[in-house]
Amino acid sequence: QVQLVESGGDLVQPGGSLRLSCTASGDIFSIHTMGWYRQAPGKERELVADITGHTSTNYADSVKGRFSISRDNADSAVYLSMNTLKPEDTGVYYCNAKRLEGLPPKMYDYWGRGTQVTVSS
């Protein structure tokens, strides 16, 4: 079992910056990929960024060059640094962890409950 808790969401002006944090507890050492998804009102949840290990990262095209994902050396937390925020970045941001469990192995997704990011003047 993995538990994820997000924090750091806030109301910011366009062009501003924000840093989101996600802390993981439980069977954290079996997690190899963690990421951030977001969901805007009326839209499907979409991948923002993920990280495997501490070096392999993946970003949505819409956030490349503006957002940066990182993971601490104990793999107990993942962060999303966001700058040059735009109104279209508004949404609930969810922390995600993926791992294979059991025999035969099966992929499991774990989710936090989300943190609200609102970009508006």
> pLDDT digits over 42-94, tens only?
999 999 999 998 889 999 999 999 999 999 877 689 999 999 999 999 999 99
Q: What is the pLDDT at residue 52? A: 92
Q: Which residue has the higher pLDDT, 97 or 72?
A: 97
Q: Which residue has the higher pLDDT, 28 or 111?
A: 111
Burial class (CB in 10 A: 0-12, 13-18, 19+), 94: buried
Tell me: cis bond preceding 104? Omega within 30 of 0 counts: yes
Contact 23, 90 (CB under 8 A): no
Burial class (CB in 10 A: 0-12, 13-18, 19+), 2: buried
Name residue 12's amino acid.
V
Rounded to an integer, what distance in angstroms lies between the CA atom of residue 108 and that of residue 121?
Answer: 39
Mean local confidence (pLDDT), 89-117: 94
Of 28, 46, 29, 30, which is closest to residue 89 (Cα–Cα)?
46
Q: What is the pLDDT at residue 63? A: 98
Mean pLDDT of the chain: 94
Q: What is the pLDDT at residue 25? A: 92
